[in-house]
A and B are shown apart, each in its own frame.
Chain A
Amino acid sequence: MNLGSVTLANPVMTASGCGGTGRELADFDALDAVGAFVTRSITLDPRPGSLPPRVVETPSGLVHTIGLQNPGLDQFLTRELPWLAARRTRTFVSVAGSTLGEYADLGRRLGRSPGVTGIEVNLSEPGDLGLFDTREPFQAARVVQAVRRDLPPGLPVIAKLAPDPTRIVETARAIAEAGADAVVLGNAAPALMPDGRPAGLSGPAIRPLALRCVHDVHAELPDLPLIGTGGITTADDARAFLAAGAFAVQIGTALLHDPTTAARIAAELQGEPT
C-alpha cells in the first residue's frame, strides 16, 4: 500500500479526532494493527474547545462540536509525537490554521520532526471556528500549497474535504494540482446541535453521502488516490468504499463505540487483494 514514498501495512487508518493521542487505542492493543494513525487536528496555538454538551446522539450518528480542542503545536511536539515516534506508529498529523502563514508554519515545523509520516490538511471545518475559509476550491488549493512549501519532498500531504458532493470534483482537482498526494473524502457533514450551535454529523448516517463523493471523484479523476471515510463500522462497509474507488479508509465514530473496530477491520481485510 503506497502513498507517495510511504508504504502502509494495510489500508485502514484512524480518522482525525477519534483516536485520542494514540495511547488510548494502544491500551486495547488496537494501535499497531492499523495502517496509519491520524491525530486530532493540531493548530499552532492551543485551543480550549467548545462548551458542553459537545456530543449528542442522533439516529445512526453523532452530532458534535469539539471546537478543535488541542494542546497546540509546541505541546503536541513535546508531549504526544515522541511517544508515537518511539513506537514507530505511522502517523499523519492533521493540521488546521486560520491563515496561510499558519499552515506554512505547521508544515515546516512538522516536516522536520521525527515520527511524522505525513500531513493531513483539514479543509472542511466550517468558517465559524475561525479557521481559514476553504469553501472555494482555489482557497483550498492555496492551503495545500502553503503546507507543501517548506515540507521535505518525500513527505506525503493528504487533504480532507467535507462530504458535499456539489463541488467535490472541482475541489479535489484543485488540491491535487496544488500538490496533494491523496484526498480524504469526507469529513463530518455540516449539522446543528439541538441548542443551535454549528456542529458536524458523523457515523453511519453519512456513509451514503461519503460513498457518493468517492464515487463521483473517482469517476472524473481515476488516477487520484482517494481515502474514504464516513460511517464505516464493519469490513463490508470498508469494502464498499474500496469498490467505489478508494484505496484506503479511515474509521472515526465507530472507534468511539468500540475502540478495537479499526484494528479488527484491518485484520479482516488483511490478505484480500485491494
Chain B
Amino acid sequence: MSSARDPLHVNGEVLVVKKIGAYRHLTIAASGIAERYRPGTFVAVSIGDLTPRTHLARRSFWITGVRPTGSHGPTIELVVEPRGVGSTWLADRRQGDHLELTGPLGRPFALPKEPVSCLLVGEGYAAGALFPLAERLRARSCTVTMLLGAPDEVHLLGALDARRAARAVSVVTGDGSVGRRGDIAGALPEVMDGIEVVYATGSHGALHAVAAAAEQHGAWSQVAVETPQACGTGLCQGCPLPVVGEDGVARVVRACAEGPVIRGDRVRWADLGVS
C-alpha cells in the first residue's frame, strides 16, 4: 500500500487564475496533494487534450502554496511563466477547467532540527517555492532572511510577501527597476554574514553561486535544481543530474527523484546541462 507521504495522480480543478507581472498564478483544487505537501516538492501536469493524448511529456511546476482546508477542499498554488507549448497552455487555463496532476513529487528541502539562521534565495518564478518554506522555518524558530532576484520587475515574484515572511529582504533586478541593479551572484556576499543554512531556487547559475558562497562561509546549502523532465515521477531517467555521492563517487542520478532538492556541494556544476 502507498503511504500518506506518497504522491497521487489526481484530477484537479482550476479555481482561480490571477495575473502577477509576467506570470499566471493558479489555485487548483487537488485533494490529497495539498495534505502531502512538503516545501521543495513539485507537481507534474498533463497538458493538451487527453482524448486522445497527444502531448506525452509532462510539465513540472513548483507548488508555491497549499491550503489543506477551505470551502473548495484542499488547494495548491502554482506560478506559471508562459514560454513553450505546455507552459503557455497551462497559463491559459480558466476557472472550472480540469487538469491531470501528479504530486507532490521529489525530495523536499531538509528542515533544520535546531533554530538556525537561514537565507532563502529565489530567482524569478522559482522564488514562489520559498514562501511555504519560510513559514515552516519560522515555526521552528529559525531566523529567515531573503534574497530575491529577477531580470526586471515583471519577473520579480513575491517582493511584498517577502516583507512578511522574512526579517530582512534584499532585492536585485537586472535592469535596476526594483531594488538594486545586479544579480544574485553579485548580491550574495553581502547577505551571507552569520548564515548557517542557505535554501535556493532559480537558474543553474544562481544555484551554483549559492553553493559556492555557502561553502566559502562554512554554511550548508540546499538547492532546488530544475532540469528538463519528461515524466517527473522517476520512471524514465530522462532528467540526468551529475552528482558526487556520499561515498565520494561521481554518478548520475534522476533530478526528479533523487532531487530536485539536493545539497549544493553534491552537484557537479561543470557537468550540469552539458550537451
Residues of A within 8 A of B (CB): 17-21, 24-29, 40, 48-57, 59-62, 64, 66, 69, 195, 203-204, 233, 253-260
Q: Decide: A258 and B9 in contact? CB cutoff 8 A.
A: yes
Interface centre among A26, A257, A259, by most B CB within 10 Å? A257
What's the minimum C-beta distance from A29 to chain B, rounded to whole angstroms?
Answer: 5
Chain A proximity mask over B256-275: 1 for CB below 8 Å, otherwise 0: 01000000000000000111
The size of the chain B interface, using a CB distance under 8 A, is 34
* Residues on A with beta carbons closer than 8 Å to the beta carbon of B55: 57
Q: Decide: A26 and B231 in contact? CB cutoff 8 A.
A: no
Residue from A20, A29, A51, A59 within 8 A of B274 (CB atoms): A51
How many A-B pairs have beta carbons closer than 8 Å: the answer is 117
Give Cα distance in the complex from A235 to B46, angstroms.
19
Main secondary structure of the interface of B (DSSP, over half): loop
User: Which residue of the partner chain B has the closest CB to A53?
Assistant: B228
What's the minimum C-beta distance from B42 to chain A, rounded to whole angstroms?
Answer: 15
Residue from A26, A64, A204 within 8 A of B52 (CB atoms): A204
Main secondary structure of the interface of A (DSSP, over half): loop
Q: Decide: A255 and B235 in contact? CB cutoff 8 A.
A: yes
* Residues on A with beta carbons closer than 8 Å to the beta carbon of B231: 255-257, 259
Given the interface pairs A57-B57, A256-B236, the reply to whether A233 lies near B230 with Cβ below 8 Å is no
* Residues on A with beta carbons closer than 8 Å to the beta carbon of B57: 55-57, 62, 256-257
Give Cα distance in the complex from A55 to B234, angstroms.
13
Q: Decide: B235 and A18 in contact? CB cutoff 8 A.
A: yes
Q: Decide: B2 and A48 in contact? CB cutoff 8 A.
A: no
Given the interface pairs A57-B56, A256-B56, the reply to whether A49 lies near B233 with Cβ below 8 Å is no
Q: Decide: A55 and B102 in contact? CB cutoff 8 A.
A: no
* Residues on A with beta carbons closer than 8 Å to the beta carbon of B54: 59-60, 204
Q: Decide: A52 and B227 in contact? CB cutoff 8 A.
A: yes
Q: Decide: A49 and B56 in contact? CB cutoff 8 A.
A: no
Give Cα distance in the complex from A253 to B230, angstroms.
10
Chain A proximity mask over B229-252: 1 for CB below 8 Å, otherwise 0: 011011111111000000000011
Q: Decide: A256 and B53 in contact? CB cutoff 8 A.
A: no
